Chains A and B, each alone.
Chain A
Amino acid sequence: MRRLRPGRLLLVGVASLVYLFLQLPLLIVFPISFSSAQYLQFPPPGWSLQWYERYLNSPNWLTPTWLSLKVAVATTVLSLLLGVPLAFGLTRARFWGRDAIEKLSMAPIIVPTIVLSIALYGLFAKLRLIGVWYGIAVSHTLLALPFVVALVVAGLRDFDVNQELAALGLGASRWRAVWHVTLPQIRPSLVSAAFLAFISSFDELVVAMFLGGANMTLPKKMFDNIRMEIDPTIAAISALQIVLVSALLALAARFGRGGGMPGR
């Protein structure tokens, strides 16, 4: 049993305050979303589901939501389809230009999002691709790629290559060896990467703002709305988002583990 020294107590106290600071906004959102007042009031005078109704019944809100979901799913699929093979290519063989390719795949992280956004905006405007959902999806894929690659590469580094070799020796082609033996065991990395790609796309504002044109994603609609007024509907949407993230985190934790059981 740890004795609580005064120094430790103070430290834990400070840490707890910072924790509170971190959670506060998330907590605030919930009571406001259930407020029965017509405008923003805290503490709320009474309880009501009006803001949730407002959100779920309004095509003005639902259309952007569907768009965001569509884009996020596409981003997840595309970034995995591009990033996983790249990760394999980077870890399985040595070839001329490998370092350069690795650096290039990490580069989108370093560039400030605003710069990337206007660069893409300029190009897409010229190509008349503003307002198409796949334009946003493909740009989000670009942003998610470094993380997907980093996660999968890390997962592959921990993986015992001998198993892939054993599979080859037993008659499997490279592709079948990866499919039957490697992928099931790097599942935690794949799940984390998918989760990351989805969330980062669903929440992304700046690129979507520039490339969406008249077609708004949910973040863009929220942004416009917040700028004009502090609408409690946003609190309802926020509450739903927080619940969604928590659920996804719990799912990821559950399905992420148990991919590869350490045998020996």
Chain B
Amino acid sequence: MAAQEVKDAELRVDGVAKRYGAVVALGGVSLSVAAGEFLTILGPSGSGKTTLLKVVAGFEFPDAGRVTVGGADITDVSPAKRNIGMVFQNYALFPHMSVARNIAFPLQMRGVPRSEIERRVIQAMALVELRGYGERLPSQLSGGQQQRVALARAVVFDPTLLLLDEPFGALDRKLRESMQLEVRRLQRRLGLTTVFITHDQEEALVLSDRIAVMDGGVIRQIGAPDEIYDRPADAFVAQFIGESNLLVGEIAAPDRVLLDGGTSVTVHGLGGGRGRVRLLVRPEKMAIDSATNRFTGTVVEAVYLGEAHKLRVRVAEGVELMVRGHHAVPAGASVTVGFAPGDAHVIRGAG
């Protein structure tokens, strides 16, 4: 059963599980990617994200669950018949073939006539801005150029889905940023449903329509970037994405939390009830001139970032707060920082 050759294809993963011996790589993962959407799977090494991608691509087969594309069940289908374009971490370009032949390969495998192959290869090279590079060998290209050949090869045959496995890991920062923009631009232009894997949360925030945060073989949270950033579902997500201050304490009143250190803070959105909570306050929400929830302490470290200043303030024994703002405060100085009641994100549950 081959995947439908329809451009508008939705990817659904239902309860996919996979183990290697005693190690559980995927513990019942479900998600769906709308047609044309760019979903990033974000997680640390060993979180299972690459395994999930391999299951979708067909290089691994699950112990349970289903994968459907455009409504068709492809769980058992061989990777050759899935019509999915994939960019590998190390590009996996064929070193003995020229750029043009690399890109032509999937068309050749599909029996596309010679003349049309030529036309489409040229088109694909133009798409990734590698016009005229057809006769070069991969070893003669820079990392960024090889990257683009891999991309061209993955899209030239009009795949239903595009998968990218941490493709920018080997590139330097500037190149990475420009490639990120290029991939997004390309994806929008072709309207391809895309799944992107990375451990770099900044990359995820920049590129995605939605982000799925994975850890230990399960998805912790799926949502739009701002949702993930501002309203993380649990402590792991909170700490994985961006920097955060986590204050732990007990609910004392509908709008008050008694922190473990003894201080009391005013917080909105507690949602009633009792119990332990964790309050997430992003460094940029910490203000030196805050009117509420103030902590006094000493600046342990002050870092100048160009567009902001980052301060680490020790406010109590073993408790440090990260503050990001436009005030230059020297290390060693005494300072008072605080946050507004509405700027704390509440995570219920044990500390």
Contacts and interface: CB of A to CB of B under 8 A. Distances in A.
Given A165-B59, A264-B90, A171 B96 contact: no
Contacts of B139: 261-264
Interface of B: 57-59, 78-86, 88, 90-96, 105-106, 109-110, 137-139, 143, 146, 153-154, 157
Nearest to B59: A165
A263 B84 CA distance: 24
Contact of B105 (A167, A261, A262, A264): A167
Contact of A261 (B57, B59, B82, B137): B137
A75 interface: no
Contacts of A259: 96
A160 interface: yes
A99 B324 CA distance: 61
Contact of B84 (A165, A169, A173, A185): A169
Nearest to A187: B96
Contacts of A172: 80, 105, 109
A64 B154 CA distance: 56
Given A176-B109, A260-B96, A262-B139, A169 B91 contact: no
30 contacts: A160-B92, A162-B90, A163-B92, A165-B59, A166-B94, A167-B94, A168-B58, A168-B59, A168-B80, A169-B59, A169-B85, A170-B80, A170-B154, A170-B157, A171-B80, A171-B81, A171-B109, A172-B105, A176-B109, A180-B94, A180-B105, A181-B94, A259-B96, A261-B96, A262-B139, A263-B93, A263-B138, A264-B90, A264-B91, A264-B139
Given A162-B90, A168-B80, A263-B95, 12 more contacts: A160-B92, A163-B94, A166-B86, A168-B59, A168-B78, A168-B79, A169-B57, A169-B86, A170-B80, A170-B154, A171-B109, A180-B94
Contacts of B93: 263
Contact of B110 (A163, A171, A184): A171
A261 B93 CA distance: 11
A136 B118 CA distance: 50
Contact of B106 (A162, A170, A184): A170
B90 A170 contact: no
Given A171-B80, A171-B157, A184-B96, A166 B110 contact: no
B137 A169 contact: no
Contacts of A176: 109
A238 B138 CA distance: 46
B296 to A, nearest CB: 54
Q: List 10 A-B pairs, minimum CB-CB distance, nearest first.
A: A263-B95, A166-B92, A171-B109, A170-B106, A162-B92, A263-B138, A168-B79, A261-B95, A172-B109, A169-B86
Interface of A: 160, 162-163, 165-173, 176, 180-181, 184-185, 259-264
A168 B81 CA distance: 9
A166 B109 CA distance: 12
A160 B91 CA distance: 11
A166 B83 CA distance: 12
Most central of B78, B92, B153 by chain A CB within 10 Å: B92
B106 A260 contact: no
Contacts of A162: 88, 90, 92
Nearest to A173: B80
Contacts of B153: 170
A170 B59 contact: no
Contacts of B83: 171
Contacts of A263: 93, 95, 137-139, 146
A171 B138 CA distance: 21
Contacts of B78: 168
Contacts of A173: 80
Nearest to A181: B94
Contacts of B82: 169
A176 B105 CA distance: 11
Given A166-B86, A169-B84, A171-B80, A260 B95 contact: yes
A45 to B, nearest CB: 56
A184 B97 CA distance: 10
Nearest to B96: A184
Contacts of B86: 166, 169
Contacts of A264: 90-91, 138-139, 143, 146
B79 to A, nearest CB: 5
Which of A167, A260, A263 neighbours the largest number of chain B CB atoms within 10 Å of its CB? A263
B119 to A, nearest CB: 18
A31 to B, nearest CB: 45
B120 to A, nearest CB: 14
Contacts of A166: 86, 88, 92, 94
Nearest to A162: B92
Contacts of B146: 263-264
A243 B170 CA distance: 49
Nearest to A166: B92
A166 to B, nearest CB: 4
Nearest to A171: B109
Contacts of B94: 163, 166-167, 180-181
Given A263-B138, A264-B90, A264-B146, A169 B95 contact: no
Interface centre among B84, B105, B137 (most CB of A within 10 A): B105
Contacts of A185: 95-96
A160 B92 CA distance: 8
A38 to B, nearest CB: 56
Most chain B CB inside 10 Å of its own CB: which residue of A176, A260, A264: A264
B105 A170 contact: yes
